[in-house]
Amino acid sequence: MHDEQAYEREPYLTELHVEVVSAGDEEGRPFVILDDTILYPEGGGQPADHGLVDEVPVVDVQRVDRDIRHYVDRPIEPGAARLTLDWSRRFDHMQQHTAQHLITAVAEAQHGWETTSFHLGEQRCDIELNTPLPDTVSLARVEDVVMGVVRSNRRVNARRVSPAEVGALEVRTRGLPSGHHGSVRLVEIDGIDVCACGGTHLSSTAEIEAVKLLGVEAMRGGCRLHWVAGGRVRARLSGHEARARQLRAQLDVADEDLVDAVVGRLERLKTAERRVHRLERQLARQVARRLGGADTPVVEAHFDDTNAGFLQLVARHLSVDAGARIAFLTASDAGEHFFLLATGADSSVQLGEPGAQVAELLDGRGGGSGTLFQGKAGSLSRRCEAVALLERLSD
């Protein structure tokens, strides 16, 4: 077994001949332990690498005590094997993690903002800072300085030193992990930062390509800063351009007019919705009057292309117009079915038990008691049986 794993010694290495030393299973998750590895185990805010042991996918890598467990898609027997790294995933992580070191160093040097945690997410990354929400000018300044360092092509290197040497150096660290023993790994951005870190990093700041700060939010007395770096900047821009292209086609305006066009559409939509709601209330009142005036033992009706909200509006008026009768209303909308039972103001019927019986007939579920019972129906094929049941109750 090597004291320093290959992912530390040669972070750009993508293949390695290894020996599967042992195999095991952790609650149904098979894993292997190798004599050396180019796959980084999750830690320090950086996700685990993925890859292959021969043709078997490695889906996770974790450090357990002093072992590095490679969790695999299916069991593997001990013996010689070829380990392959998912390089695109690794390089993305190297870009994000190196960018994090740079953002953290610049934020602290420029404004005294200390980073308290780091998270490398699938779409974007974030760091938590021990400062209230910063202003946009300060954030823009951090981004400008960070990009200046990216363009300056500063060397990034890693080395190990003894714990005693750490105290004599200007090292940015939040303290060593509990139980740490042996040497300490330092990652240095030439002239910018020295940090204790076990992650994988680029060899120069130029390989970061670009950094874009996305915004901040308040978080536990400090703030959380979101950002992307490297290929994620281009991917995010491509996504924005694709959405802008679709919006341009839908709204028939130029990019600079998209926001105004959307705001205008939303205002007109809100006006139309208010008009629809007003007309719906008026319609519900007229429907309730018509149903309440019918000479039937049960006030019943079905409505297509509407939902439970409309049934509730009608029932509110029927509580007056139905007198001593029971009202039974159903509706269908976009493949969903709804039902509602209500009693008139002069009725003494309690709807808890009848409502449960109707729900069972309609293969549905509902709730309520007293003067109202409503729910969703799986089918309205037995609706006539439900009406007959309520008519018997009304006799």
Angle at which helices 231-251 and 87-111 cross, to 10°: 90
List phi, psi (to 5°) of 381: -65, -25
pLDDT tens string 16-49: 999 999 999 999 999 999 999 999 999 989 999 9
- Residues in a beta bridge with 80: 19
pLDDT given for residue 371 in this prediction = 87
Report the C-alpha gap between 33 and 51 in whole angstroms. 14
Q: Are 23 and 78 in contact (CB under 8 A)?
A: yes
Q: What is the mean pLDDT of residues 319-329?
A: 85
Q: What is the mean pLDDT of residues 224-242?
A: 97
- Picking from 10-14, 148-152, 353-357, which range would have the lowest pLDDT averaged per residue? 353-357
When the pLDDT of each residue in the chain is averaged and rounded to a whole number, the result is 92
Beta-carbon contacts of residue 19 (< 8 Å; ≥ 6 apart) = 34, 35, 78, 79, 80, 81
DSSP state of 165: H
Q: What is the mean pLDDT of residues 258-274?
A: 96
152's tokens: 């300056």
Q: Within a 10 A sphere around the Cβ of 236, how many other Cβ atoms?
A: 15
Confidence of residue 173 (pLDDT cuts 50, 70, 90): low
Confidence of residue 179 (pLDDT cuts 50, 70, 90): low
Report the C-alpha gap between 268 and 69 in whole angstroms. 58
Task: Using DSSP bridges, classify how beta strands 298-304 and 326-333 pair: parallel, antiparallel or unpaired.
Answer: parallel
Q: What is the mean pLDDT of residues 256-285?
A: 96
Confidence of residue 177 (pLDDT cuts 50, 70, 90): low
Q: Taking every pair of C-alpha atoms in the chain, what is the biggest distance, in angstroms? A: 96
CA dist list (Å): 155 to 170, 190, 276: 18, 5, 64
Report the C-alpha gap between 302 and 310 in whole angstroms. 11
Q: Is 28 left (phi over 0), alpha (psi -120 to 50) or beta?
A: left
Q: Is the pTM of this model over 0.75?
A: yes
Q: Are 228 and 214 in contact (CB under 8 A)?
A: yes
Nearest C-alpha neighbor of 258 from the set 273, 243, 238, 268: 243
Taking 80 as the threshold, does the pLDDT of residue 182 lie above it? Answer: no
Q: Residue 49: CA atoms inside 13 Å, Cβ hemisphere, count? A: 29
Q: Are 366 and 359 in contact (CB under 8 A)?
A: yes
